[in-house]
A and B are shown apart, each in its own frame.
Chain A
Amino acid sequence: MSVVTERHRPPTFADVNRDVLRTLATPGNLYFGWMCVVGLILTAGILAWTYQIYIGMGAAGKRTPVMWAMYITSFVFWIGIGHAGTLISAILYLFRARWRTSIFRAAEAMTIFAVMTAGLFPLIHAGRMWFAYFLLPYWNQRDLWPNFRSPLVWDVFAISTYLSISTVFFIVGLIPDVAALRDASTGWRRRIYAMLALGWEGSDAQWRHYRRAYGLLAALATPLVLSVHSVVSWDFAMALVPGWHSTLFAPFFVDGAIFSGFAMVLVLILPMRHFFNLHAYIQEKHLDAMGKLILTTGLVLTYFYICEIFTSWYSGDHFERASLFWKVTKSYAWALWLMYFCNCISPLILFWKRARTSPVVLYVVSVLVLIGMWFERFNIIVPSLAHDFYPYTWGIYVPTPTDTMIVIGSFAWFFILFLGFIRVMPSLSIVEVKETLPQPLKDGAHGHH
């Protein structure tokens, strides 16, 4: 516990190894308690899903015309969350933003788990999930293939690609760290880590290929990140529904995704920093940088909201205008205004540096942003459908215990994965932290030993 107390002195390479390995020690009661709570919620969610499969989609509150509701809302929400990780690891890597190093591992893990959570929702949502494999292209005796014109098939491709590439990226990034774990552990753990480390030694040849491959992966992942949420946004933009049919959607969704992704990163990192005493690695300047990013993306999002309102007014399209007016004033207006408050107003506090460096303020803003971003998707999906072209069928969606439980259960699923992860894998990148540390020099100012 040496380094942390001596804030004035940056950690050494050995400190890094020790501090990271410390996070993998046997969990305490607090951790087990959390696992239990999250596990119970997850169990309830799974039971709700089972019930829904058995009874039919009617168990969820969907109806004509609101045939998509909380499941797709949560799907888009989780995909959005999944954006921060790859953004931090790929785009910021290419931009050589050094502050990313202490947070990117947690963010990447979050990405993968968020995408895994998101990936469940199309299944939960499908009326006959047992035939969901129809969406995959595979050889079959009937010669039937999916309809590649459907944005849902694009989703299948985009999301599975995103999950694969993120996982590859994540695993590649983990290899040297797992090697460090291997060298520091004993017994069966050592054997498992040894297997996962693929015999990494950190030789110059390995590093050479590794760095090249990592750079290329980052280069591939960058357009991918931007494309995935664009594709998801096209689920809506390609449809005819007023409130969905907009060319604005791709950048709008990508920005929102980054916005919510960073909020989620903060929601995960701040407690980690607190409980694992990682103040030396996750410093105020890191928080400050993320605060700035949230503020920026929040302002961009506000601009998009204004554009959205402006275009539907300026289009002169009767359906668009009616839809907008209805959203702003009628049954779901509370959700819309809640969203505006969370996404447009609450991040403004981050204009102050003191707010950006205060973990409490950041945490509160992040939670608000997450709520706001969930409702953003809700506001795009539900009210647009509830008040679309055909007045005969207009109707309000009312959630049921089943779909509410499933959505809450999805958060439990995400957190259980994340809580599991931080106990078995280094949640800080040992290698990259070392890279940013002052090098151990015998003759330099900082050298010691």
Chain B
Amino acid sequence: MATTETVLGVFAHVDTTVRALEDLRAKGYHDLTVYTPAPVHEIEEALERDRPVSRVRLFTLIGALTGTASGFLLTIWSALKWGLVTGGKPIASIPPYVVIAFELTILFGGVATLLGLVILARLPRLRPSAAYDPRFTNDRFGVAVHCAPERGPSVRQILTTAGAEEVGAR
């Protein structure tokens, strides 16, 4: 914490939190972390203007396509291994293999999504971040502002004005 300081404001209400965020934004503070017990639309809206869309969907797409391909590959390749005829059907019978390909599409897609979440959200996190407070999974909202130490007082000021119950450095 040599170059930056983290100022944490704890809020009990959504409207006060949003107000704090708007104020911080107006003052040019963009390096924020907001902790909420549940996703809150207003807070997201306040933040989302700055942030790109989550890249999780890319993981999903790649996973799903891999699943489709491996479904068809596995079925056709393994059927050709022995070339056994059943019920007079061709060795590579595509219609039944669609079922396998479909299931693998979903499976790989789902697993890739999980993977994407874990990677992008930097999970698992072994140690809680400095600004975290257990109340944030209960009924409190937290706004952590990362700023140069000299700007700390001004941030505190903004947070307190917005209606923070508690403001402190972390």
Contacts and interface: CB of A to CB of B under 8 A. Distances in A.
Given A145-B81, A440-B13, A198 B36 contact: no
Sorting the interface of chain B by its residue count into under 10, 10 to 19, 20 to 34 or 35 or more gives: 35 or more
Contact of A154 (B100, B109, B120, B126): B100
A435 B39 contact: yes
B110 A168 contact: yes
Main secondary structure of the interface of B (DSSP, over half): helix
Main secondary structure of the interface of A (DSSP, over half): helix
Interface residues of A, number: 68
B106 A153 contact: no
B36 A447 contact: no
B96 A149 contact: yes
B113 A154 contact: no
A235 to B, nearest CB: 12
Given A137-B78, A154-B100, A149 B87 contact: yes
Contacts of A449: 12-13
B78 A208 contact: no
A207 B103 contact: no
B51 A208 contact: yes
A439 B36 contact: no
B15 A158 contact: no
B93 A209 contact: no
Interface in B18-66: 32-40, 42-44, 47-48, 51, 53-54, 56-57, 60, 64
Interface string B148-170: 00000000000000010000000
A442 B38 contact: no
Contact of A213 (B56, B79, B103): B56
Given A168-B111, A435-B38, A183 B137 contact: yes
A89 to B, nearest CB: 13
B16 A220 contact: no
Given A14-B138, A207-B39, A227 B103 contact: yes
Given A204-B34, A213-B113, A137 B74 contact: yes
Contacts of A137: 74, 78
21 contacts: A147-B86, A154-B103, A158-B103, A161-B107, A165-B106, A176-B137, A179-B137, A183-B134, A184-B137, A199-B126, A199-B127, A204-B47, A205-B33, A207-B44, A208-B51, A209-B56, A209-B117, A221-B106, A430-B37, A430-B137, A439-B13
Given A209-B117, A231-B99, 5 more contacts: A14-B138, A172-B117, A179-B137, A203-B33, A447-B15
Interface of B: 12-16, 32-40, 42-44, 47-48, 51, 53-54, 56-57, 60, 64, 74-75, 78-79, 81-82, 84, 86-87, 89, 93, 96-97, 99-100, 102-104, 106-107, 109-111, 113-114, 116-118, 120-129, 132, 134-139, 163
